Each structure stands twice: as C-alpha cells, then as structure tokens.
Amino acid sequence: MPLQTDGVWNWEYIKEKMKEGVVVVTFKKANNEIREMECTLADYLLPETSGSGSTHSGDSTVICFDLEKEDWRSFRKDRVIDVEVL
C-alpha cells in the first residue's frame, strides 16, 4: 500500500506503520521551521504512563510519540512534506 496516492497522504496506512514501528515525518512547524521527527505508536517503544491523555488524532492533526524528545507531540497533516517508514 503506498504512502501517497495522487499527492494525498494515506494517513490510515501511515498510522498503521507507526503502530508497527518507527516513521520519520518531515513537516513545517507553525513558525515555518522544517522539522524531522522520528515518531511511533508502537506499544513496545512507548514508555509506561499513567493518566488519561488522549492519543486520538483528529482530522487535521496526528498525535504520536517523538522518540528523540521522548514525549508526545503532534503535527498538522497539511504541513507534512515527507514520510519515511523505517
């Protein structure tokens, strides 16, 4: 299954890949800085946490665990430049 079809990102597929391992997402931040983030949703890579924080991504954003920052982050789907599955 492709990451992109006709220039449109396949977010369902990308999130499935995040649940399996690591995905590198390159995106433009709100301040126009380009950011590359190694992120995951794979249980075996996530820290044990307590609380009721939501990991549900909305229509316009994706919430994921940033492996470099070791914290939860989000990015806007419409600001994504590239996605690479590791």
22: nearest Cα among 74, 72, 67, 58: 67
Q: What is the pLDDT of residue 58?
A: 67
pTM of the model: 0.85
What CATH number should be reported for the domain holding residue 77? 2.30.30
**Domains of the chain: total:** 1
Question: Is pLDDT of 35 > 80?
Answer: yes
37: nearest Cα among 1, 86, 4, 3: 86
Q: How confident is the model at residue 23 (pLDDT cuts 50, 70, 90)?
A: very high
Domain housing 33: 4-85
Distance in angstroms between the alpha carbons of the first and the last residue of the chain: 15
Give me the residues paired with residue 27 across strands. 35, 80
Tokens, residue 39: 């992120």
